[in-house]
Amino acid sequence: MKKLFGILFVAGLVAGTAVAEDDVKARTAPVGSTCMSGDECAAAPAPAAAAGPKSGKDVFGSFCTTCHSAGLMGAPKYGTAADWAPRVAKGKETLYTHALGGFNSMPPKGMCAACTDDEIKGAVDYMIEGSK
Ligand code: HEC
């Protein structure tokens, strides 16, 4: 019985720590994110859209994933090394060129017209890295 209490005590401590961490996260959330409509702070101007270039992961998640997660129309699947190895063998520059300018059913810039060339290249790198 003593042992059981010990386990419960430890479990309680672990749960307590998790709660405390959540608490800290909530308190350290960026200003503005906790505003509710109706609050005074909600009237404050929204923070400027995320500054700086989008990460390869973000571009992938917003655009490339549509085709590259399911392998639509023969798109090399993210996470599938067998799909990517022959592509990577062509050289990264070729893949960048095809991602930017299009290649068969691969649309130019993966349909992210607003993406910069570097952002598209970042998404290519992200897919290659995640598909080894
Ligand atoms: C509408 C579907 C679609 C979207 C969206 C899409 N792709 Fe593709 N992608 C394809 C298809 C299909 C292929 C295979 C083309 C082929 O080999 O004939 C491909 C191939 C590629 C290749 C390999 C090219 C080569 O030379 O082998 C790269 C790199 C690539 N896509 C990058 C991207 C990136 C980066 C994005 C997002 C910014 C993206 N794609 C979004 C359909 C898509």
50-75: pLDDT as tens digits: 568 999 999 999 999 999 999 999 99
Q: Name the residue at shortest CA distance from atom 3 of ligand 1.
A: 67
The owner of tokens 């993210």 is 78
> Does 87 reside within a domain?
yes
CATH number of 114's domain: 1.10.760.10
Give 68 Cα–ligand 1 centroid separation in angstroms: 7
Position 30 in a domain: no
Q: What is the largest CA-CA distance in the chain?
A: 70
Cβ 106 vs Cβ 99: under 8 Å: yes
What local confidence, expressed as pLDDT, does residue 60 receive? 98
Tally of structural domains, the chain: 1
What whole-number distance in Å separates Cα of residue 30 and Cα of residue 123? 27
SS3 103: strand
99 assigned to some structural domain: yes
Closest CA to 69 of 59, 58, 80: 80
Full residue range of the structural domain in which residue 88 is found: 56-129
Give domain status of residue 49, yes or no. Answer: no
Residue 38 lies in a domain: no
* Distance between CA atoms of residues 104 and 11, nearest Å: 56
* 4 falls within a domain: no
The pLDDT, as a whole number, for residue 58 is 97
Distinct helix (H) and strand (E) counts, the chain? 6, 0
Residue 113 lies in a domain: yes
- Is any atom of ligand 1 closer than 6 Å to the C-beta of 34? no
Instruction: Please indicate whether residue 110, judged by its CB atom, sits closer than 6 Å to ligand 1.
Output: yes
pTM over 0.95: no
* 46 occurs within a structural domain: no
Residue 101 has pLDDT above 60, yes or no: yes
**pLDDT classification of 9: cutoffs 50, 70, 90:** very low
The Å distance, Cα 99 to ligand 1 centre, comes to: 6
112 lines ligand 1 (CB under 6 A): yes
Name the pLDDT band for 115 (thresholds 50, 70, 90).
very high
Average pLDDT taken over every residue of the chain: 81
